[in-house]
Amino acid sequence: MITLIKNIQELLQVREISIAKVSGSEMAILPSLKNAFLILKDDLIENFGSMENLPEINADKIIDATGKVVLPTWCDSHTHIVYAGNREQEFVDRINGFTYEEIANRGGGILNSAKKLNETSEDEIYEQSKHRLEEVMHLGTGAVEIKSGYGLTIEGELKMLRVIKKLAENYPISIKATFLGAHAFPTHYKENKAGYIDEIITKMLPEIAQNKLADYIDVFCETGYFSVAETEKIMQAGIDFGLKPKIHVNQFNSIGGIQAGIKFNALSVDHLEIMNPEDIEALKNTETMPVALPSCSYFLSIPYTPAREMIKAGLPIALATDFNPGSTPSGNMNFVVATACIKMKMTPEEAINAATINGAYAMGLSETHGSITKGKKANLILTKPISSYYQIPYAFGSNLIESVFLEGKILE
């Protein structure tokens, strides 16, 4: 099946050669082609170029993209979209003056979601989660990482990971699974933290590894959750079972989680709302991708990741949603890109790089996703007619997407 998209006003993120990531000042450069064509063959990108160089081809389908922009689908490298119910009461409680921390301390927060998750059947969790997945696909996401972490029991964590696996089997979107058993201490282990960590390491991890249910290991490294020493112990155990770390750090406090992540060669360190100069320094010249989650900052009214300082220091940044019931009940990457521009002062070019090529890196998908490169997945966003790609962050409340292509097919 050959599809030709012709007369594209601007084709974004074109890379002749597949690159892993863009860092520092390179982030300001978004390579693009004006008046371009793009040819898809089955599920892959076959060719692209300027309209004047359009080769003769026998296309099965021709799409005229006059006035429209085409870019690779968003790569959302940090979500928790598998969950049960919602936490809208906590949302109202926060409006009424309670903090996220106060709500968590009285048994709400992650423990509230864990209770709901453990009371809900696997089929029901799948049903609820698939609607969220379908929604984000229509919003232009073509690859997503999904974490466990609302089970906090062996049965609950396995249930979540099986749901993630089933979603990956049933939908044409690339999904990476992350085991986040270390998301919070369950109530009955409150006085026996070592006991829960032992359960993660000796019971959960072997079962997950044996059934190949996860690609990555995550820990919520934060005051009141998992200490740096505990995080290191869990990362090491994950690595021993073949899972690379991707960890939650510096959301509310800078306690050394970034340095721990780097020490264990984490693929990414995520959140980074609270960054001190040593944290930025530590990330220089490492393979670890810093991931910012601006919708979380927006929803919780907490600081935004200091993107300008980080880019100035030569670091890369990836953007992701953090879609979850407590801190970010939204999986809209278009909003993430807009918020990064509006609140973090990233330029549209930097934000689009962060949400595509760098997001792909943060999921280990650089070779197949994140740019318009021959041989990569034919995962595309085709916009409605727009004046330029600046509209994507500028018109932040509008849906500018006309269609989404996943693996070469238009999403119905």
Q: Which residue in the set 141, 227, 305, 327 belongs to the binding site for ligand NIG (CB under 6 A)?
A: 327
- The reply to whether 115 sits near ligand NIG by the rule CB under 6 A is no
Of 79 and 371, nearer to Fe ion (C-beta) is: 79
Of 50 and 223, nearer to Fe ion (C-beta) is: 223
Of 222 and 322, nearer to Fe ion (C-beta) is: 322
Amino acid occupying residue 347: T
Q: Which residue in the set 273, 279, 322, 350 belongs to the binding site for ligand NIG (CB under 6 A)?
A: 322
- The reply to whether 220 sits near ligand NIG by the rule CB under 6 A is yes
Of 196 and 220, nearer to ligand NIG (C-beta) is: 220
Amino acid occupying residue 315: L
Min dist CB 302 to ligand NIG, Å, is 10
Taking CB under 6 A as the criterion, which residues in 28-47 touch ligand NIG? Answer: none
Cβ-closest position to Fe ion: 322
Q: Is 326 annotated as a binding residue?
A: yes
Question: Cβ distance 377 to 407 under 8 Å?
Answer: yes
Question: Cβ distance 316 to 22 under 8 Å?
Answer: yes
- Which of 338, 292, 357, 272 minimizes the C-alpha distance to 26? 357
Of 156 and 348, nearer to ligand NIG (C-beta) is: 156
Min dist CB 247 to ligand NIG, Å, is 10
Min dist CB 302 to Fe ion, Å, is 13
Rounded distance between C-alpha atoms, residue 296 and residue 273, angstroms: 9
Q: Which residue in the set 215, 322, 349, 350 belongs to the binding site for Fe ion (CB under 5 A)?
A: 322
Rounded distance between C-alpha atoms, residue 100 and residue 9, angstroms: 45
Taking CB under 6 A as the criterion, which residues in 228-287 touch ligand NIG? Answer: 248, 251
DSSP 8-state secondary structure symbol assigned to residue 304: P
| Triad 294, 276, 248: Cα angle to 5° | 50
Which token pair is 290?
């810093």
Task: Tell me whether residue 261 is exposed, middle or buried, using C-beta atoms within 10 angstroms of its C-beta: 0 to 12, 13 to 18, 19 or more.
Answer: buried
Rounded distance between C-alpha atoms, residue 45 and residue 407, angstroms: 9
Task: Tell me whether residue 25 is exposed, middle or buried, using C-beta atoms within 10 angstroms of its C-beta: 0 to 12, 13 to 18, 19 or more.
Answer: exposed
| Triad 401, 404, 408: Cα angle to 5° | 155
Rounded distance between C-alpha atoms, residue 18 and residue 382, angstroms: 21
Of 199 and 322, nearer to ligand NIG (C-beta) is: 322
Question: Cβ distance 160 to 204 under 8 Å?
Answer: no
- The reply to whether 215 sits near Fe ion by the rule CB under 5 A is no
- The reply to whether 296 sits near ligand NIG by the rule CB under 6 A is yes
Which token pair is 341?
């521009």
- The reply to whether 109 sits near ligand NIG by the rule CB under 6 A is yes
Min dist CB 32 to Fe ion, Å, is 31
Min dist CB 202 to ligand NIG, Å, is 24
- Which of 41, 38, 42, 49 minimizes the C-alpha distance to 72? 38
Q: Which does 234 bind (CB under 5 to 8 A by kind): Fe ion, ligand NIG, none?
A: none
Min dist CB 183 to ligand NIG, Å, is 6
Phi (first) and psi of residue 118, to 5 degrees: -70, -20
Rounded distance between C-alpha atoms, residue 248 and residue 222, angstroms: 8
Min dist CB 324 to ligand NIG, Å, is 5
CA distances from 143 to 47, 198, 323, 380 (A): 21, 32, 14, 11
Of 76 and 349, nearer to Fe ion (C-beta) is: 76
Question: Cβ distance 114 to 186 under 8 Å?
Answer: yes
- The reply to whether 113 sits near ligand NIG by the rule CB under 6 A is yes
Q: Which residue in the set 13, 324, 353, 366 belongs to the binding site for ligand NIG (CB under 6 A)?
A: 324
- The reply to whether 326 sits near ligand NIG by the rule CB under 6 A is yes
Binding residues for N-formimidoyl-L-glutamate, as ranges, are 150, 324, 326
Q: Which residues bind Fe ion (CB under 5 A)?
A: 322
Q: Which residues bind ligand NIG (CB under 6 A)?
A: 109-110, 113, 220, 248, 251, 296, 322, 324-327
Binding residues for Fe(3+), as ranges, are 78, 80, 248, 322
Binding residues for 4-imidazolone-5-propanoate, as ranges, are 87, 150, 183, 251, 327
